[in-house]
Amino acid sequence: MSGSTLPDKSTEAAVKALTRRAEQILQARPAYKEMVDFYLTAFRRQIEWRDRLAVHPTPVDREQVRACLREGTPLVEHYDPGIESDSLLALWAEMKTVFRRGNAVLEEAVERIEQAEQAGDLLPATWLMEQRPDRGELIGDVAERVGVEESMLGSLVRVVTFPHWQVVSGSWLPSSGRLHEWKRSCCPTCGGPPVLVELCTKPSAEENIAPVSQRFAHCGFCASRWRVPELKCPACGSTKSGDAKYFFTSQEPDLRIDFCKSCNYYIKVVDVGKTSGTIHVGLESLSTTHLDEIAREKKLTPLEITT
């Protein structure tokens, strides 16, 4: 791997945007301070490592992308993401150091992982290379084997794989109008489920015309962003009048829970018209876990795309 040791302007801008968004979140939701402060270190490190990542996705031209989008199959089912194991291992080592400094629980978890690696019971190069949204059982199997909480292990692993897959998504789906052809709710890059929806409302250019709202799903595995229909359930596909429901509070006007009355699946929504700056999928997901608790109390199920 190669790259400059000095951050370029785009890296500095991304770190500043992340920091500004974190400050805004903590001003509105101070209870997340300890969590946000810690994970900011990991998220900044992700950004700073961008020029050191070794990722060489199979070149995909416009027509190949369009063919996959029309067919409704994620690009990873046809093309190699080209992520090098040495790159994953290098960032894995870096992030274990970051997590070890977090708290005693994380430090113990990292120690158990390293003991398993040194004993030859865990081969991170193979394991990290196999990470896919449809291989969720890998986290559970390894967590049980090494005696680490599954959610904690998953957080560490995603911090390592996410920036690599973000490069893949950026290569295969650069900013363009192609994604209007994608009709499925799963991610067009990796096939994973969206972790949250971004709501964008733009005022109409004409008077007496209602603002135009657009919804964009965000993948938590590879950071892909794609447009989804306003009144269609991403889980069961229902467009029946009255099925689309949501919860919100006046104390958090930028957040809400959208759910389907038919199938009881839900997804968290961030209204960017009521925020400032660019949202960061990892930060938004971590700082809205209270919405997941509300959803569980109402017996709703988080969205999971398995087909």
**Same-domain status, 216 and 107:** no
172's enclosing H/E stretch is helix 150-172
Greater confidence (211 vs 150) lies with 150
Burial of 175 (0-12, 13-18, 19+ CB in 10 A): exposed
Q: Between the CA of residue 200 and those of 233, 256, 272, 274, what are the distances in Å?
A: 18, 13, 6, 9
Distance (Å, whole) CA 219 – CA 65 = 18
SS3 of 135, please?
coil
**Same-domain status, 275 and 251:** yes
Distance (Å, whole) CA 248 – CA 271 = 11
Distance (Å, whole) CA 197 – CA 225 = 9
**Same-domain status, 168 and 141:** yes
The string of pLDDT tens digits covering residues 17-37 is 999 999 999 999 999 998 898
* CATH classification at residue 280: 3.90.1670.10
Please check whether residue 80 lies inside any domain of the structure. Answer: yes
Of 143, 172, 201, which residue sits at a domain end? 172
Among 69-73, 99-103, 302-306, the range of highest mean pLDDT = 69-73
Q: Please state, as a whole number, how many other Cβ atoms lie within 10 Å of the Cβ of residue 265.
A: 21
Angle CA 237–284–3, to nearest 5? 110
Instruction: Tell me: pLDDT of 196 over 50.
Output: yes
The string of pLDDT tens digits covering residues 232-266 is 888 888 888 888 898 888 889 899 999 999 999 99
Of 172, 206, 236, which residue sits at a domain end? 172
The string of pLDDT tens digits covering residues 114-149 is 999 899 888 888 888 988 888 878 888 888 988 999
Instruction: Tell me: pLDDT of 222 over 60.
Output: yes
Distance (Å, whole) CA 45 – CA 160 = 10
Instruction: Say if CB 255 and CB 291 are below 8 A apart.
Output: yes
Point out which residues pair with 227 in neighbouring strands.
Answer: 216
Eight-state DSSP code of residue 102: T
Q: How many domains does the chain have?
A: 2
Distance (Å, whole) CA 104 – CA 102 = 7
Pairing of strands 194-202, 265-271: parallel
Please check whether residue 1 lies inside any domain of the structure. Answer: no
Greater confidence (198 vs 125) lies with 198
Burial of 35 (0-12, 13-18, 19+ CB in 10 A): middle
Angle CA 122–127–131, to nearest 5? 150
Q: Which domain holds residue 52?
A: 9-172
Q: Between the CA of residue 49 and those of 1, 44, 157, what are the distances in Å?
A: 11, 9, 15
Summary mean pLDDT of the chain: 87
Distance (Å, whole) CA 110 – CA 184 = 37
Instruction: Tell me: pLDDT of 305 over 50.
Output: no
Of 172, 188, 218, which residue sits at a domain end? 172
**Same-domain status, 54 and 108:** yes
- The reported pLDDT for the residue numbered 249 is 86
What is the pTM assigned to this prediction? 0.89
The string of pLDDT tens digits covering residues 274-284 is 887 688 999 99
**Same-domain status, 151 and 223:** no
Instruction: Tell me: pLDDT of 10 over 80.
Output: yes
pLDDT range class, residue 269, cuts 50, 70, 90: very high
Closest CA to 233 of 217, 249, 210: 217
- The reported pLDDT for the residue numbered 203 is 64
Distance (Å, whole) CA 229 – CA 213 = 10
Instruction: Say if CB 96 and CB 116 are below 8 A apart.
Output: no
Instruction: Tell me: pLDDT of 228 over 60.
Output: yes
Q: Please state, as a whole number, how many other Cβ atoms lie within 10 Å of the Cβ of residue 5.
A: 7
**Same-domain status, 217 and 82:** no
- The reported pLDDT for the residue numbered 1 is 42
CA neighbours within 13 Å on the CB side: how many for 157? Answer: 26
Greater confidence (137 vs 73) lies with 73
The string of pLDDT tens digits covering residues 36-55 is 988 899 999 999 999 999 99
